[in-house]
């Protein structure tokens, strides 16, 4: 359902569940207060490590929406969204991909190795996006080196935004409210 001519905003969280203090949750609240239609992709319990299960979950949410969508993804949610974009037939007005994880490069200690990520279907990362997009990268994100994220944005044909040194753009890095997100959604 859309409000007026505005597309529904679909929030695609990363691997962690919807957190009330996360900028995506706060953005969803602000948009809803403005009368915008917003859907948050729920977490799944079964096969949650597998890319195909995450992509199918996103498709379930979007298939219930009449009209175009804008996707707002963070972290692994960006990879879910990019993989989903390769398969969907839904009308997409645009995508905001904030602090994408680079699963093709080594992750910090304690996270999965490249072979496990490949086995779960996360790599290779698609290099084409059929929809308009904006990629926001941090200069000090331990889950995606700035230059690698810029390369992905270029391959995707995305507008690239240098967010400065904002870590992984989550509550642990002080993001809560992130005013730029709302501005970028409006630009899409």
Worst-scoring range by mean pLDDT, 31-35, 149-153, 170-174, 180-184?
170-174
Under 8 Å between Cβ of 19 and 171: yes
Tokens 């990362």 found at = 125
Strands (E), the chain: 8-12, 38-40, 69-74, 92-98, 133-137, 159-162
Q: What is the mean pLDDT of residues 158-186?
A: 91
For 80-139, write each residue's pLDDT tens digit.
Answer: 999 999 999 999 999 999 999 999 998 888 888 888 999 999 999 999 999 999 999 999
Of the candidates 97, 87, 125, 81, which has an alpha carbon nearest to the alpha carbon of residue 188?
97
Pick the CATH number of 8-187 from 1.20.1740.10, 3.40.50.1820, 1.10.10.10, 3.90.470.20: 3.40.50.1820
Q: pLDDT at position 47, please?
A: 83
Q: pTM for this structure?
A: 0.93
Q: pLDDT at position 18, please?
A: 65
Q: pLDDT at position 111, please?
A: 84
């Amino acid at each position: 359902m859309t409000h007026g001519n505005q597309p529904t905003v679909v929030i695609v969280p990363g691997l962690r569940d919807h957190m009330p203090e996360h900028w995506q949750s706060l953005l969803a609240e602000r948009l809803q207060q403005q009368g915008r239609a917003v859907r948050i992709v729920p977490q799944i319990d079964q096969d949650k490590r597998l890319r195909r299960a995450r992509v199918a979950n996103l498709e379930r949410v979007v298939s219930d929406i009449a009209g175009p969508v804008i996707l707002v993804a963070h972290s692994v949610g960006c990879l879910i969204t990019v993989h989903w974009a390769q398969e969907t037939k839904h009308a997409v007005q645009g995508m905001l991909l904030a602090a994408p994880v680079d699963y093709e490069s080594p992750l910090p200690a304690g996270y999965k190795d490249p072979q496990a990520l490949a086995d779960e279907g996360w790599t290779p990362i698609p290099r084409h996006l059929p929809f308009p997009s904006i990629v926001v990268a941090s200069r000090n994100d331990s889950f995606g080196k700035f230059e690698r994220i810029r390369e992905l944005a270029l391959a995707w044909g995305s507008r690239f935004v240098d967010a400065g040194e904002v870590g992984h753009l989550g509550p642990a890095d002080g993001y809560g409210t992130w005013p730029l997100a709302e501005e970028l959604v409006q630009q899409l």
